[in-house]
Every structure is written in structure tokens, then in C-alpha cells.
Amino acid sequence: MTRGTGRRTPIRTLLTIAKADEAVVATGWVKTSRFSKNVSFMHLYDGSTTKTVQVVLTPEQTEALQSRLVVGACVRATGKWVVSPAKGQAFEIAADSIEVLGDVDASAYPIQKKDTSFEYLRTIAHLRTRTNTFQSVFRVRNALSWQIHKFFQERQFLWIHTPIISTNDAEGAGECFGLAHGKPGDPPFFGAPAMLTVSGQLNVECFAEAFTDVYTFGPTFRAENSNTARHAAEFWMIEPEICFADLDDVIALAQDFIQVVGRATIAQCAEDFEFFDARIAQDKEFTNKTLAILDRPFARITYAEAQDILLKSGKKFEFPIGHGTSMQSEHERFLAEEYFKGPVFVTNYPRVQKAFYMRLDDGGETVSATDLLVPRIGEIIGGSQREDRLDVLQEQLRVRNMPEAPYWWYLDLRRYGTVPHGGFGLGFERMLMWMTGMTNIRDVIPFPRTPGHADF
């Protein structure tokens, strides 16, 4: 591969070369260096793999450079691919030359062995990418995005780019970031107060009713002031929407999606998952347990059944359970973690707890909604069959004191060729947390936005 800086081979590719004596160029950053009288060693990483490549240097080569070949320095090594006499690697680079492209002041470099807590690393989010954990996290984040697109593209779903700027609070939860412009008192730029989108669902439904199977995958924004390990103000959501479908079809799609995408991501990033097993979960069976879960059907219960299980559990919860009160994270986690020991779809929630667009069940008390709860995290998916009957949908707006006018176009979908349809939203970061064992959403987002934090 030719780049402006000269020929180089990614370390991941280098390590697959099984033939000695090839001329190679490796570029990257120093992970470790060790100097002795007769020979010196340096390990380089470049982000392409969890592994490093060993570069062997002679005393002559390092004489003038020793103080510069320190952790974090950016270098280019040119040499020969040779069989390594030592344990630890099959091959190594016998360097002909070594060049320092970017120096590091070792006494000031913030990535040191002494403080590597995730809390500390969040304060240097621009540099934490250089640590083993974040290298693995962001490789898996990349792979998961790729596998998600692959899943839908292979099934003829269209990817729809729904808008980021919106004038509708799709979820009706009032957790929006408003947009300001110009001077106070200026008329609204968009004719109505605008905000950052909380969901692309209402927009993507318009496309579903023309293209049948569609999805959005993009950033969404919520001004929830909940300072928890599972909430971010800016997160990514995947929202498929399918026509000629009821709640059972939505649940079948959600299960297939999680299972296929989860297995493919683990296969693509096998090394990274080995790292998570050893260093994050500290359980060498952690990923194997995930794979086992991904091979069997998920449990499914109604909200009423969930309430019964919780009431009969004899467990002391911080928030009491009563029929009608909404489930808290502790209840969700109990169901997935302790009771089902795996993912569980909870269905048919009370109407009053859910959004206006969900299909009203016979009896009028519950809606055809589902949340998927998983161990350690709680809710990772929220979805439903949509209310496709115009009069019922209008009534659902009315009982919530929501005006019809801003939704005229959404109601039109029920006026012209309405169809049974539904979909769900997966919290991308929550899936990442569930799979990697990372416990804080701030540590699976490149530059997390949470109350008080939008630096970097």
C-alpha cells in the first residue's frame, strides 16, 4: 500500500506473513521498548490488531535514538521479516533502519501505567484511544456497525437517513434538546420550535409505507438528566420498521437481528473478545456464555406476568412493585439476570406507560409493545406494533393532550393505504456494553455527552 509517508503494511497483515526474508515497513506507536548492551527490542501497535509487532534493533541503531524510542512515540521501522528465536512471536522485524516521526515527552505523557482507571481516562478522552481497552472497544464498535448494516442490506431493507433536526418529540416524553439561533426574540428559524431528534421512527414509518422494510441508524439525543451508567445525551439508535407485520413479527426480527449481528461481531473481532474475557469480565467463559445465549430463543412474557414474577420474588427492591407502576432498572435486571438468566421480551405494557403511536390491544388497557431486557443492562430494545387505525390513533393523541396539527402528515399514513406495521429501536451503545462487559456507557462512546460533559 502506498501512502504519502511511504510503503507500509498494517500490523494485522504483517503478522500473517509466514515466510521469512521479506522486506517490510511497519509504522505505528511504541508500546514498549527495552534496551540492552547487545540488542534492543521495541513493540509497535497501529490499531489494526490487539497484537504488537516486535522490532529488533542493534546497539548502533539505537545509540542516538534511545531517549526518543519511548512509550507513545510514533515511528517507522524498515527491515526484514525474520523467524524470531524467542518465545512470544513466530516472526519479528530485524530492523535496517528506524525513524522517529513523532516524539513524546515521556515525563509529561498522560498515558502512564500508574493511573489507568476508566474515570481518569475519561478526562483524557483524546488519548485513551491508545490503551488496550479502548483499542478493542472501538474496533468492536466499528464491527458492530458494519454487521448491523450487513444484516439489513442482505435482507433488502433500505437504509433511510432520517433528519437530525426535528419539530416533533416522537416519544412524547419531553426530553428534548431545543435549538437556539440568532438573537432572543427572533422568529423560529423553522417556523416552529425545533429540537435535536429523539428518534427517527415517525419519519422512517413514512418510508416503510412505501418501501416495506426500512431502517435508520444514526445519532439521537435525549436530555434525560439521569446521570446513570446506561444513559447518554447523545447515543446511536438502530430503528427498523417493517410492513405487513404484527408484534410477533417485530419480536422475531429483533431476536434474529441480535443473534445474527452478535455472533458475526464476535467472529469478526475474536481477539478483542478474548481481551474482554481476560481483562474486563475477568471470566474466560464470558464470550462463550454470550454465544450460548445467542443460540437459543429468548424468553417472552407479558407485562402482567412480569409483575407477578416480581411480586412473588420475595426480593426487596428500592422501588416498590405494584400493578401499574412502571418498571425500574432494578426490576428489569432482576428479570433478565436472576429469573430468566438471559434476554427476555416483555410485552403488552399498560397504555399509560407508553408512547401514543403503539397499537392499542383489545380491552384498551395495554398496547402491543415490547422491551427486550438483558442481564447487567436492562432494556436494550424498545419497540411495538404501530397503531394503524386512524380513529384510534387520534384518540391516543387526545387522551394525552397532544395536539393533532403537528402530526397531520403522520396521520395521513393512516388515511392513505394504511397497513399493519411495526418496528423497534436498539440502543447501539447498550448492545456494545452487553457484549463487551464494559459497565459504563461513557466508555463505549468516542466522546461521550452526559450532564456536565461535552468537552473534546
Q: Under the rule (CB under 6 A), what is the footprint of ligand 4AD?
A: 170-171, 199, 201, 222, 224, 231-232, 235, 237, 239, 379-384, 423-425, 427, 429-430, 441
Q: State the binding partner of 343 from ligand 4AD, Mg ion, none, CB within 5 to 8 A by kind.
A: none
* Closest to ligand 4AD by CB, 110 or 350: 350
Cα separation of 351 and 19, whole Å? Answer: 66
342 touching Mg ion, by CB under 5 A: no
* Closest to Mg ion by CB, 273 or 356: 356
378 touching Mg ion, by CB under 5 A: no
DSSP 195: E
> 169 and 222 in contact (C-beta within 8 Å)?
no
Cα separation of 5 and 2, whole Å? Answer: 8
In the complex, the smallest distance separating the C-beta of residue 25 from ligand 4AD, rounded to whole angstroms, is 42
Segment lying near Mg ion (by CB under 5 A), choices 112-120, 127-135, 233-241, 379-387: 379-387
* Closest to Mg ion by CB, 342 or 382: 382
Instruction: Give me 9's grid cell.
Output: 503494511
* Closest to Mg ion by CB, 273 or 428: 428
Q: To 5 degrees, how large is the angle CA 349–CA 352–CA 353?
A: 55
DSSP assignment of 259-280 equals HHHHHHHHHHTHHHHHHIIIII
**Ramachandran bin of 27, using left for φ above 0, alpha for ψ from -120 to 50, beta for the remaining angles:** beta
* Closest to Mg ion by CB, 98 or 380: 380
Q: State the binding partner of 430 from ligand 4AD, Mg ion, none, CB within 5 to 8 A by kind.
A: ligand 4AD
Round to the nearest angstrom and report the end-to-end CA distance of the chain: 32
> 432 and 140 in contact (C-beta within 8 Å)?
yes
Q: Is 18 helix (H, G, I), strand (E, B) or coil?
A: coil
In the complex, the smallest distance separating the C-beta of residue 251 from Mg ion, rounded to whole angstroms, is 15
422: exposed, middle or buried (C-beta count within 10 Å: 0-12, 13-18, 19+)?
Answer: buried
In the complex, the smallest distance separating the C-beta of residue 230 from ligand 4AD, rounded to whole angstroms, is 6
In the complex, the smallest distance separating the C-beta of residue 133 from ligand 4AD, rounded to whole angstroms, is 20
Q: State the binding partner of 79 from Mg ion, ligand 4AD, none, CB within 5 to 8 A by kind.
A: none
**Ramachandran bin of 44, using left for φ above 0, alpha for ψ from -120 to 50, beta for the remaining angles:** beta
Q: Is 29 helix (H, G, I), strand (E, B) or coil?
A: strand
Segment lying near Mg ion (by CB under 5 A), choices 188-196, 285-293, 329-337, 377-385: 377-385
Cα separation of 450 and 342, whole Å? Answer: 29
Q: State the binding partner of 80 from Mg ion, ligand 4AD, none, CB within 5 to 8 A by kind.
A: none
Q: State the binding partner of 9 from Mg ion, ligand 4AD, none, CB within 5 to 8 A by kind.
A: none
Looking at 262, 382, 427, 448, which residue binds Mg ion (CB under 5 A)? 382
In the complex, the smallest distance separating the C-beta of residue 199 from Mg ion, rounded to whole angstroms, is 10
Q: State the binding partner of 437 from Mg ion, ligand 4AD, none, CB within 5 to 8 A by kind.
A: none
In the complex, the smallest distance separating the C-beta of residue 354 from Mg ion, rounded to whole angstroms, is 8
Total residue count of the chain as it appears in this document: 456
Residues forming the site for Mg ion (CB under 5 A): 382
